[in-house]
Structure 1
Amino acid sequence: MENSSDFNATVPLISAEALRAQIVQNPLQNYLLGIIISICGNVLISVSLNIQKYSHVRQAQRGSKPYYTSGMWWSGVVLMGVGELGNFAAYGFAPASLIAPLGCVSVIASAVISVVFLKETVRASDVVGGSLAITGTYLLVTFAPHASTHITAHLVQYYAISWHFLLYLFIEVILFCILLYLYKRRGVKHIVIVMLLVALLASLTVISVKAVSGMITESITSQLQLIYPIFYVMLVVMVASCAFQIKFLNQAMKMFDATEVVPINFVFFTASAIVAGIIFYQEFEGLALLNIFMFLFGCLLSFIGVFLIARNRPKIKQQDRTFIPMDKIPGRRNTDKVQPEAKTQTYGSLAAKLMCNRAGQTDD
């Protein structure tokens, strides 16, 4: 990068030479390390989700203790934490535009685990979708940008005040406000609206996660970066964007089925992560046109594969049957006499309960 090299020229000479030496010596090693960590993290996440799912099923069959008293459920939570920590660390070694699409590994692994251990039925769409996702993952790893940029506090600050990122941030804020107005004020509860809100927040999450992870990695391997204010700014952005992202994602899970939310969220999150990597970290700068085309083609194959795997999965949401309308009870007539009026003197009293009992005896 010409701009970043000019900027790095302003730092002490010894530090710049050390960074250049590291980049020349092991760019592929850091790149492969990031890929391996990301894949292992996504596999652990899929394993943890299936463990928690199995724990919920077992506790529901026993019907005795709540799920959080199960040691198996807590083991799944711990595995998920380790997997997310692996994904966080992977951003410090490999480009963000590569780590985000590798999330399809979690979908593939979850489908395999569901078939092998949870005895779910293998469908033709699972086989085709898994093949497309694996092919797309191979293309992503092969044609993604291999440059391993050392993330420093000075570099993050330089990127944060660049005109193209400020323009991108301005457009993103405007879009987020419009979508939030439609969602909150106008009551537009379409799944695309909610998922776009999540994706816009995810873009900031990817930028801040890579910045924080990269600065921590740089602090461990070379020079301390935690003394700069930009580290804590990015840390606050990471925590806040993650919190609101989880909030909107949970709202989407309440309104829509997981078989709809999961593939759409994967596509929107991956697209926002790639755009964030291109604009903020300039990861596609100097990349050949063929590499860009094959990388995007690999993303497309992964998207199609995830949709095929998630399509027609068993519905997770169930209708709430706790309350049954009185007029739906067989053999009950005159149900309007059962509930006393709220304005009467007997409302909520013992006389009201006796009146309900008499109505129940005479209705038959």
Structure 2
Amino acid sequence: MEGYYSPPADSSAGSSAFSDNLKGFILALASSAFIGASFIFKKKGLKRAGANGARAGAGGYGYLMEPLWWVGMITMIVGEVANFVAYIFAPAVLVTPLGALSIIVSAVLAHFILKEKLQRMGILGCVLCIVGSTMVVLHAPEEKTPTSVDQIWNLAIQPEFLCFAASAVAISLVLMLHCSPRYGNTNIMVYLGICSLIGSLTVMSIKAIGIAIKLTLEGINQAGYFQTWVFAMVAISCITIQLIYLNKALDTFNTAVVSPIYYAMFTTLTILASAIMFKDWSGQSASNIASEICGFITILSGTTVLHSTREPDLSSNADIYAPLSPKIFWHVQGNGELVKHKEEDLLSPEFITVVRQDYFS
């Protein structure tokens, strides 16, 4: 099964693989530009929606009525389509790390449009992302396209990939059902953990669909395989979940925080999933694999530097102050005795106390 991932035997095959990688690289660059811009448009739309009603982070869907949010959504769709096609031509090990360039676009636009200041060290972070991306591109493996969806299905039902997929779904369910209602608005890892885990499965299914479309256009119809439709349903479900929780993350936390953390987690999990399912590193030399890993680490360092130099977003926490609940009991220490009173025993209805919620978290 791993045989068709071996390096091409002749120069013409090698040249074709290089050409496919180049197409994937160009499409990934275009995708990063569109996706980076989409973060800004969506953030502006979410802010406007939050000013007029319930915020997305609080379960509101008013952003669906905001034109700017839809501009961001359309821009993201264009970027994702370009990314989708990139996965047809190039391996995930090449395409996914290039998503770091969307962070650069997002950071630069946020500096000018959202007034989220980009400091000098942030520029260094951008440079590190570019250097790391270059290293990954230069040492990316050459991938040979499977000849049918049935072959991809055989890769997807490997025990090791099924174990990875089951773990991703199980952890995502725990985060969605247990952690999200309790910690989603205070811990960014909850929303982005869901997006990243589900996102890794999205990429695998999208790559399968892309290859099926490519083969169909070449005259080898793949619509008759039930596996094609299974991959399509998985992709639609995963994308829907990603959009919901990414909107929650963007509305609750600073764009400069969301982008790098999401990138780091999503890219790591996607590369892991692709390495397990598609055997991306099969046939590569140890030096090439080491260079790709070093490039990826450089990109992660860049995103970390970029994140650490950005100012916190205070606007998203506008409702961090709230009145005390009348159910709170007041404990007063006096003369060595602990006296407990209900709120109505101490305070008149006109008395309002405002306190930071995190004191009670």
Same fold, TM exceeding 0.5?
Answer: yes
Q: 2 CA distance for matches of 1:296 and 1:211?
A: 25
Do 1:151 and 1:211's aligned partners in 2 also have CA atoms closer than 8 Å?
A: no
Match of residue 201, structure 1, among 183, 198, 201: 198
The question of 1:166 aligning with 2:156 is answered no
SS in 1 for 2:316: coil
Q: 2 CA distance for matches of 1:275 and 1:48?
A: 26
Structure label with greater radius of gyration: 1
Q: 1 CA distance for matches of 2:300 and 2:113?
A: 25
Deviations 1:183-210 (A, max 9, x none): 269x455433443333221221111011
Do 1:27 and 1:147's aligned partners in 2 also have CA atoms closer than 8 Å?
A: yes
Deviations 1:22-55 (A, max 9, x none): 9556111111101101111111222344455677
Do 2:29 and 2:98's aligned partners in 1 also have CA atoms closer than 8 Å?
A: yes
Q: 2 CA distance for matches of 1:135 and 1:42?
A: 16
Query: Residue 45 of structure 1 aligns with which residue?
Result: 35
Deviations 1:86-135 (A, max 9, x none): 11111111111221111111111223344567776551112210110010
Deviations 1:261-318 (A, max 9, x none): 3222111100111011100111111111111111111111111212222332351514
Q: Which amino acid aligns with 1:93?
A: F
Residue 253 of structure 1, CA deviation: 4.1
Q: Comparing 93-102 with 197-206, which one deviates more in the overlay?
A: 197-206
Q: 2 CA distance for matches of 1:183 and 1:55?
A: 26
Residue 151 of structure 1, CA deviation: 5.8
Instruction: State the number of aligned residues.
Output: 317
Residue 69 of structure 1, CA deviation: 8.1
Residue 180 of structure 1, CA deviation: 5.3
Distance change >3 Å, CA 164–CA 294, structure 1 → 2: same
Residue 215 of structure 1, CA deviation: 1.0
Structure 2: runs of 5+ lacking an equivalent:
52-61, 326-346, 353-361
Q: 2 CA distance for matches of 1:145 and 1:182?
A: 40
Q: Comparing 43-52 with 231-240, which one deviates more in the overlay?
A: 43-52
Q: Comparing 246-255 with 276-285, which one deviates more in the overlay?
A: 246-255
Query: Residue 123 of structure 1 aligns with which residue?
Result: 119
More strand by share: 2
Residue 325 of structure 1, CA deviation: 8.0
Match of residue 90, structure 1, among 86, 90, 110: 86
Do 2:168 and 2:198's aligned partners in 1 also have CA atoms closer than 8 Å?
A: no
Query: Residue 104 of structure 2 aligns with which residue?
Result: 108
Residue 70 of structure 1, CA deviation: 8.0
Q: TM-score, normalised by structure 2?
A: 0.73
Query: Residue 233 of structure 1 aligns with which residue?
Result: 230
Residue 84 of structure 1, CA deviation: 1.6
Q: 2 CA distance for matches of 1:194 and 1:70?
A: 22
Q: 1 CA distance for matches of 2:144 and 2:30?
A: 20
Do 2:24 and 2:86's aligned partners in 1 also have CA atoms closer than 8 Å?
A: yes
Do 1:94 and 1:148's aligned partners in 2 also have CA atoms closer than 8 Å?
A: no
Distance change >3 Å, CA 109–CA 53, structure 1 → 2: same
Residue 256 of structure 1, CA deviation: 4.1
Q: 2 CA distance for matches of 1:56 and 1:253?
A: 8
Q: 2 CA distance for matches of 1:175 and 1:324?
A: 35
Root mean square deviation, CA, Å: 3.9
SS in 2 for 1:317: helix
Deviations 1:238-259 (A, max 9, x none): 1111222233334444554443
SS in 2 for 1:336: coil
Equivalent positions of 1:226-265 (< 5 A) are: 226-253=223-250, 255-265=252-262
Distance change >3 Å, CA 325–CA 43, structure 1 → 2: same
Do 2:48 and 2:66's aligned partners in 1 also have CA atoms closer than 8 Å?
A: no
Q: 2 CA distance for matches of 1:282 and 1:241?
A: 22
Q: Which amino acid aligns with 1:319?
A: A
Do 2:215 and 2:222's aligned partners in 1 also have CA atoms closer than 8 Å?
A: yes
Query: Residue 360 of structure 1 aligns with which residue?
Result: none
